[in-house]
Amino acid sequence: MPKDRRSPGPAPRPVPDGLDEIDRTLVGLLAADGRMPNNALAEAAGIAPSTCLTRVRSLRERGVIRGFHADVDLAALGRPLQALIAIRIGAHSRDEIDRFRTKVPGLPGVLSLFHVSGANDYLLHVSAATPDALREFVLEHLTADPAVSHAETSLIFEHVRGTADAQRSPTAPKSPR
């Protein structure tokens, strides 16, 4: 690969520097409860509410906090079936990959798209109302896509959200409490 070419996908984001212990505490608290009011957040972090507001705003501006999201009960929305679909791209041209990456997140029922290593290129997390709707999604949007050479669907029987401490790296030893 020529030195001036980057790999397909979004440009790498610079790693935010200058995160001190208070910033890490705020990120951890917001990862656990994104709706925590500023006053409670400030109290839990041991800082003034005005300082807390300024720090959270800075974390958002620097891209450390990318957004706040609702954990939605998909069954309550009429889409109780979830699946992970492993996708292999046939021709790895930049144009095809960019087109695929742009198209897929906007398809109906798509929850997440992951670019992965290994035998597959992407994992697609989707929700559907019925097995027939899931089958139609795969046929209409994936197997019919000229970039897709293989799609393998795995049903999700249960999904449990992780509770990892956002203040530390995944490989760092957990501190005693």
The model's pLDDT over 109-128, given as tens digits with 9 standing for 90+, comes to 999 999 999 999 999 999 99
Report the SS3 class of residue 22: helix
Which structure tokens are listed for 26? Answer: 């705020």
- What is the model's pLDDT at position 9? 53
The CA distance from 74 to 70, in Å, is: 11
pLDDT in tens, 149-174: 999 999 999 988 887 655 454 444 44
The dihedral through the CA atoms of 33, 37, 40, 45 has a sign that is positive
- What is the model's pLDDT at position 127? 97
Residue with tokens 């956002």: 166
Element (H, E) at 100: helix 94-103
Decide: residue 42, CB within 10 A, 0-12 exposed, 13-18 middle, 19+ buried.
buried
- What is the model's pLDDT at position 52? 97
The CA distance from 26 to 44, in Å, is: 9
- What is the model's pLDDT at position 171? 47
Task: Look over the chain and give the mean of its residue pLDDT values, rounded to a whole number.
Answer: 86
* Helices (H), ranges, 104-167: 131-137
The verdict on pTM exceeding 0.85 is no
Asked whether residue 60 carries a pLDDT value surpassing 70, the answer given is: yes
Asked whether residue 148 carries a pLDDT value surpassing 90, the answer given is: yes
Asked whether residue 82 carries a pLDDT value surpassing 80, the answer given is: yes
